[in-house]
Amino acid sequence: MVINMAKINFEKKRIKWKLILIGLFVILIFTIIFATMIGTMGPLGQGKPEKIPMQSVLDILSGKAKLWPDVYKTIILDIRLSRILLAVLVGCALAVSGTTMQGLFKNPMADPFIIGLAAGAAVGASVSILLGMSISVSIYSTPFFASIGAMLTVFAVYVIAKSGGKVKVETLLLTGIAVGSFLTAVMSFMMYMAGQQFRFLFFWLLGGLYGASWEVIAIAFPLIILGTIIVQLFARDLNAIVLGEEPATHLGINVETVKKILLIFSSLVAGVAVAFSGIIGFVGLIIPHMMRILVGPDHRILLPASALAGGIFLVWADTIARTVLSPTEIPVGIITALCGAPFFVYLLQKSKKGRL
């Protein structure tokens, strides 16, 4: 009986993968519970004008809200928990999209916005804000316009980059950069013309989760989860594509189809995230790298690990954003970059080969 080392090593790796996923999931749950306790009325925090007892948070979260005043329930569930869950969803979406884009483009600098998605969303959002629709028509105007802008941009980039029924990733990347720069210029012009709306627009561009509500979650949750699951189904194909498009073809992968599916769904999840939270940078760039150091490059584990870690990271970043200068709020994009960048540099230094 020959001992199959490859199999034994792989089974060891499988166990490690499971432990990491369970670990990340537990951290996520604790993060959510802990974050709901932090804020203006506590229990962790200033506790003004009144301090919410710790026990009430646990009771409300476990469905025993009747024991406590309604205002507690509103603060804990409707204000805080909905925002935290949106942070989880957005963090997950950005990380999954970033991981997918880095794999597709075989480029560690790729992030969810690499093909101009953010610039497109920003132009869409600017239009709605400049037309004054964000307040007068519906609170969903800005998300709606932002997602339309994002979708149109990704579609345009894809169509421009396409030649002879195929889309080369290099062309896609460069087209994305070109279209993105063009749209950024359009948006800058709009900001210049924005006048009184400037501050609102600027705030939106830096990203924030203040728009959270259960209705928002009801829209974002199915879309982001659907996109994440579909991308996950193509994890092994993505592993092959990382080797190069021709090698992937030689392994029996239908590269053009897989590329299209992955582009559509990773853009979808990123588009939904951007629509409700503005442009939150850095999550989609660093979370995949951090997870690659932790679990390796296999997308079957890398994608779910990144999804969980993205959620955890953004909840913490948002908690800092809403509390550190309380009662004012800092755009969360500032926090993700401020915390993320140094930590990323630290990881780069620490990873033994100096590469990711």
Question: Could you tell me the two tokens for 215?
Answer: 């209705």
Q: How far is CA 96 from its chain centroid?
A: 7
- C-beta closer to another protein: residue 45 or 297: 297
**How many angstroms separate the CA atoms of 265 and 268, rounded?**
5
> Closest CB to another protein among 73 and 106?
106
Minimum distance, C-beta of residue 257 to another protein, in the bound complex (Å): 10
- Quick one: 10 or 202, whose CB is closer to another protein? 10
Residue 82 CA to residue 87 CA, distance in Å, equals 9
Q: Are 56 and 72 in contact (CB under 8 A)?
A: yes
Q: How far is the CB of 233 from another protein (least distance, A)?
A: 6
Q: Which two tokens stand for residue 44?
A: 């962790």
- Least distance from C-beta 243 to another protein, angstroms? 6
Q: How many residues does the chain have?
A: 356
Residue 83 or 292: the one with the smaller Cβ distance to another protein is: 292
Q: Could you tell me the smallest distance in angstroms from the CB atom of residue 6 to another protein?
A: 5
List residues binding another protein (CB under 8 A): 2, 4-7, 9-10, 103, 106-108, 233, 236, 239-240, 242-244, 246-247, 249-254, 292, 296-298, 353, 355-356
What DSSP string describes 95-150? Answer: HHHHHHHHHHHT-TT--TTTTSHHHHHHHHHHHHHHTTHHHHT-TTHHHHHHHHHH
Per-residue b or e along 303-324, where b marks 16 or more CB atoms closer than 10 Å to that residue's CB = bbbbbbbbbbbbbbbbbbbbbe
Strand 166-167 and strand 162-163: the pairing is: antiparallel
Please state, in angstroms and rounded to a whole number, the distance separating the CA atoms of residues 326 and 136.
28
Nearer to another protein, 73 or 300 (CB): 300
Q: Alpha-carbon distance 25 to 207, whole Å?
A: 25
Pick from 97, 61, 50: nearest CA to 302: 97
Query: What minimum distance in Å lies between the beta carbon of 90 and another protein?
Result: 26
In angstroms, the CA 317 to CA 333 distance is: 8
Quote the least distance from Cβ 65 to another protein, whole Å: 40
Closer residue to another protein (CB): 15 or 137? 15
Q: Whose Cβ is closer to another protein: residue 298's or residue 329's?
A: 298
Least spacing, CB of residue 157 vs another protein, in Å: 23
